Amino acid sequence: MDMTTKNARRTFLKTASVGGLISLVNPTILSAAPNEKKAKITLSQNDIILFQGDSITDAGRSKDNNDFNNAAALGRGYAFLSACEILNKYPEKNLKIYNRGISGNKVYQLAERWDKDCLELKPTVLSILIGVNDYWHKHSGKYNGTSKIYKDDFKKLLERTREKLPDVKLIIAEPFAVKKVKAVDDTWYPEFNEYRMAAQEIAKEFKTIWIPLQKIYDDAEKKAPGKHWTGDGVHPSLAGAQLMANAWLDVFK
């Protein structure tokens, strides 16, 4: 091997090593990474779409109304906005869209109600956004979970889902937080990033569609301050809800 070849190899190895290190310590890069070829979902006739998660998905929906395609039952957030658009775009497909997000939920609480609020509905498209409470409630001393518990519980939930609904099309949205807006301060980091990374690792393992919400909010802050997109660093404003709906709708062909 001549000196030119040796120098080129050293440069390559040094660059690869630094790049690998950055990907480990910079969660923004991880969040921005596309899920393979950015696969998208094609909606089919009579698809049943289910939104699941915590208060961000719940968005004040009526718990007394379990109907599909119903404004009160869908809440006032990204699930409602997404449903409006998709039902308008595909009127011929006879779609049924449900929201079963519940404020305050962590992964284990999804699991406790999964039979009734997911499996019995037999969704063909299932969208899950969960994780911020798994960290936030720990941070505030109301829960003693860890990022490992979050990841393990989430994997078990998806394994259970795939066993009962082997053909379901899965969407996982990234837990996110907007720094320096009320509830979200420096004490959230770096630990909160572990939950974000865990969610993306699960999405890759289960080959789901991935929505990188952290990057989407980070990019939005280049246009307006964080408080424009969220009132407390976690729950979206009107603009934030539309931002999320746009990202969700983008996963469909």
Specify the range with the lowest mean pLDDT, choosing from 26-30, 62-66, 222-226, 227-231: 26-30
Token match 């070849």: residue? 5
Bridge partners, 172 (sequence order): 128, 210
Q: What is the mean pLDDT of residues 217-240?
A: 98
| H/E run at residue 75 | none
The fraction of the chain above a pLDDT of 70, given in percent, is 85
| H/E run at residue 202 | helix 191-205
Q: Which residues contact 80 (CB under 8 A, 6 or more apart)?
A: 59, 71, 74, 99
Instruction: Give residue 31's pLDDT.
Output: 47
CA 109 vs CA 8, 86, 103, 158: distances in Å: 53, 29, 11, 14
Residue type, 75: G
Q: State the architecture of 39-249 in CATH terms.
A: 3-Layer(aba) Sandwich (3.40)
Question: What pTM, to 2 d.p., does this model score?
Answer: 0.86
Instruction: Give residue 37's pLDDT.
Output: 56
What are the boundaries of each domain within the chain?
A: 39-249
Task: Output the six-digit token pair for 137.
Answer: 């409630």
